[in-house]
Amino acid sequence: MENEFISTNGQNAVPASLKPSRPSNVWLIIVAGLFIIVPFLAWYFTWFGRDLSDADIVSYLAEEKNPRHIQHALSQLEQRIERGDPTVKKFYPQIVATTKSQTAEVRKTAAWVMGQDNKSDEFHGALLDLLKDREPLVRRNAALQLVRFW
């Protein structure tokens, strides 16, 4: 079998075996896909609007090593309180327990959540305790939420 020749411009023929190969577009497609997928996943797993089941809320509230999970669970509970969901009261002891967290952001979020139910004596007492917190923003949030109790 003779060498096949490919004419590039009609005059010079180059053997087919010496023709430069094109780089594969597969890597370009993978990188482009990662530019879309990675930000989406980062957003999805940090977005507090994603609904959590009761079991998820219990496990999220127990994760002291992951304050974002605690805040996510607290925000979900706040939405339930706002809607008037009576089943949320079973989480009140865990909400109060988050006021003892080592993370100031968690304590601040807990104060905000507790202000949503201004009829709860449990929350009222916990907010009064947060007025003595070492972080000014936590104290501020507790004071702002206590106003709702009068």
Q: Which domain holds residue 64?
A: 49-149
The answer on 93 and 140 residing in a single domain is yes
Looking at the chain, the number of H-run helices and the number of E-run strands are: 7, 2
The model's pLDDT over 37-94, given as tens digits with 9 standing for 90+, comes to 988 888 777 666 778 889 999 999 998 899 999 999 999 999 999 999 999 999 999 9
The model's pLDDT over 2-11, given as tens digits with 9 standing for 90+, comes to 555 555 555 6
CATH number at residue 86: 1.25.10.10
Residue 3 CB contacts under 8 Å (≥ 6 apart), including other chains: 15, 16, 17
pLDDT at 150 over 90: no
Q: What does the block give as tokens for 108?
A: 């601040």
Packing angle between helix 104-114 and helix 121-130, nearest 10 degrees? 140
pTM over 0.85: no
* Spatial separation of the C-alpha atoms in residues 28 and 34, rounded to whole Å: 10
The answer on 131 and 93 residing in a single domain is yes
The model's pLDDT over 107-149, given as tens digits with 9 standing for 90+, comes to 999 999 999 999 999 999 999 999 999 999 999 999 999 999 8
The answer on 28 and 78 residing in a single domain is no
The answer on 99 and 82 residing in a single domain is yes
Question: What are the angstrom distances between the C-alpha of 50 and each of 37, 73, 125?
Answer: 18, 10, 30
